[in-house]
Amino acid sequence: MKEEMFNKLAEAVASGNKEKAAELSKQALDEGIDPQEALVNGLARGMNIMSDKYENGEAFVPHLLISSGAMYGGMEILIPHLKKEGSGRPATGVIGTIEGDVHDIGKNLVKTMLSASGFNMIDLGNDVPLEDFVNAAKENKADLISMSALMTTTMVGMEKVIENLQEEGIRDALIVMVGGAPVSEEFAEKIGADSTHPDSMTASDWATNAVKKLSPAEERWSDEKISVGKVKYRDILAKKKATSEKTKDIGLETAKEIIDEFEKVGVKSKEEMTHIDRVVSSLGDKKVDRLPVYPLACGVLRKFVPTTYREYTINPEAFAQSAYLGVKYMDLDMFVGLADLSITSADLGCDVSIPDEDTPASVGHLDDYEKIEIPEVKEGTRIYELIQASKLAKEKLNKGLNAPFVAFHEGPLLTLTQLMGADRVLMDMKTNPDVVLDAVDKITDFVCDISEKFFEEDACDGLCIDNLWSNNVIMSEDDYWNFEGKFVKDRHVPLFEKYNQPYMIHSCADHVHFDTQIKKFGTGLFSYAYYPKLRHKGSKNYADLIPKYGDMCCMMGEVDPIKFMDHSSEGVQAIENDTEELLKSVLPVLKENGLQSKFVMSSGCEIPPGGPLNSVKAMVDVVKKIGPDLQKETMG
């Protein structure tokens, strides 16, 4: 009898039937079944079934979100009875996406799996102020804090949370787990986190076992232990603070050092080609003196002005001057005009937070798809301001430095998820697909209007689109094609052809639908990220991509952007080593595939805007130093 009920509960969750899961949970209680057993052997088992399917590529994120909704529907019925029956204090976790980052799909999957494992999860949501993690942990005497980030620009906040825990004396009262595609084991260890994991299932398994090893909460959260914790970390924090005060703003300090060196010696060596000729030649696989190099240094270059991030993203002159001085002092081969990822959604009605020294973020989503109204791209809109800023930057780079300016804006589906919330859109793809398709259709018109305005205003030498959701971990290639790909192929790509522009894409996703994004779109340049820890999931590097797509597309990547955060001599040396290894490896692969220059040396994603600049310059200097000889040796 019980086993039959458990099977029904598991099936309700696996099928995403929230009403059925709630109904069966009530029935289980009526039949005297222990609520803990119903939760673990019924609801959680159904979630585990879906998680297994997800791991095997048989289900995607929308399926998991729908199933998690069903599981929570049943849990709402069972949990009050768990407390009444004194089943013991469940492990308590605080979870959220770090401040400045609105991407919460990974966070929600981890929350779901931890809930299925019996955790009482306090979900702070996304774009969470750093102090809220600490406050929630104290209020709930938490056993776990789990922080996530998808954007390299926001990851640094994780270390600040851990420092705040140390300062409060409660770091040893709980375990800290960090995650997100760009988060590596090295990064987690460096900031003092206890662990990071490549997926929600392994994260949940680790956390479940880790909290069992903790001493009782009353002991860990006692006044005595907290006092000891404050003393323990006082010296550690004092040393950190002293080091920090020596370099109060590492971006600004390293910018001054680079400027001083430039003023003394100028550009160290005269090269055979101009920046713009080198980039154009590489796109067409023509002969070059060396491969182009451009770590994705965007907002971080504002330190050369200097100006705040807020000014960089809203003031055209500050934006253009950041681009110009960055290319001048770093001798970059191009500049990509990424300001933030909330510009298009802001003009569609989404509330946006624009802090002084952090990336802007969408903070208030629309509550109804029918409220989406497509604005005219004109003065007064954020996107028009970006177009004018880009136009000014292009003029400065072209005339003053012979360098190209590549503009940047969001694609249709990214715009929609920023506007409505990613979880909602991905779930609605399965439960209300026609509404989502109608919204994507409308937003595609807006995206096309934006791109055309860039071209009409002659505001860029190239235009790069962020099509983030092309990710085989998030959705199948068929779903991607249906909900964005066909709109891009039929309406956006022809616009680029009309203006004789190559279609350019940036995606820091871990498992891109490259066949659609490159072959179907006819993409001319693809800026990609590579995650070695997710290679088993489908993350690709140059050795995979050049043989398959190099005949039609110039690839651009793939040095880990987080490594650029370390400005120490060891950190700079690591960047130099990685750059040299990549350059020496890429050139033979190009030659083996009948190519000579179709690759841009870059980082896999944007360099965090709060980072140093000496590590960025180190990558450029290595390519300039050894690139010409390697090019001749390899290509003849």
Closest CA to 330 of 406, 264, 267, 411: 267
Q: What is the largest CA-CA distance in the chain?
A: 84
Q: How far apart are CA 308 and CA 315, in angstroms?
A: 10
Domains of the chain: 1-88 (1.10.1240.10), 89-246 (3.40.50.280), 247-635 (3.20.20.210)
**pLDDT bucket at 502, cuts 50 / 70 / 90:** very high
**pLDDT bucket at 228, cuts 50 / 70 / 90:** confident
Residue 631: predicted pLDDT: 97
Residue 83: predicted pLDDT: 55
Closest CA to 268 of 258, 281, 277: 258
Cα dihedral: 82, 28, 207, 119 (round 10): -40
pLDDT digits (tens, 9 = 90+) for 279-298: 999 999 999 999 999 999 99
**pLDDT bucket at 85, cuts 50 / 70 / 90:** very low
Q: How far apart are CA 528 and CA 468, in angstroms?
A: 10
Q: Assess whether pLDDT exceeds 90 at residue 174.
A: yes
CB 537 within 8 A of CB 517: no
pLDDT digits (tens, 9 = 90+) for 563-588: 898 888 999 999 999 999 999 999 99
pLDDT digits (tens, 9 = 90+) for 313-344: 999 999 999 999 999 999 999 999 999 888 99
Q: How far apart are CA 527 and CA 447, in angstroms?
A: 20
pLDDT digits (tens, 9 = 90+) for 156-169: 889 999 999 998 99
Between 149 and 362, whose confidence is greater? 149
What is the residue-averaged pLDDT of the chain? 90
Residue 247: predicted pLDDT: 53
Residue 241: predicted pLDDT: 64
Out of 26-30, 47-51, 53-57, 246-250, pick the least confident. Answer: 246-250
Read off the DSSP letter of residue 91. P
**pLDDT bucket at 84, cuts 50 / 70 / 90:** very low
Q: Which two tokens stand for residue 254?
A: 């390293």
Spell out the residues 6+ positions from residue 101 whose beta carbon is closer than 8 angstroms to its own.
126, 127, 148, 149, 150, 151, 153, 154, 361
Q: Is 597 helix (H, G, I), strand (E, B) or coil?
A: coil
Q: Which two tokens stand for residue 189?
A: 């260890």
Q: Assess whether pLDDT exceeds 80 at residue 112.
A: yes
User: Residue 63: enclosing H or E segment and its boundaries?
Assistant: helix 61-84
Q: How far apart are CA 67 and CA 183, in angstroms?
A: 27
Q: How far apart are CA 150 and CA 127, in angstroms?
A: 11
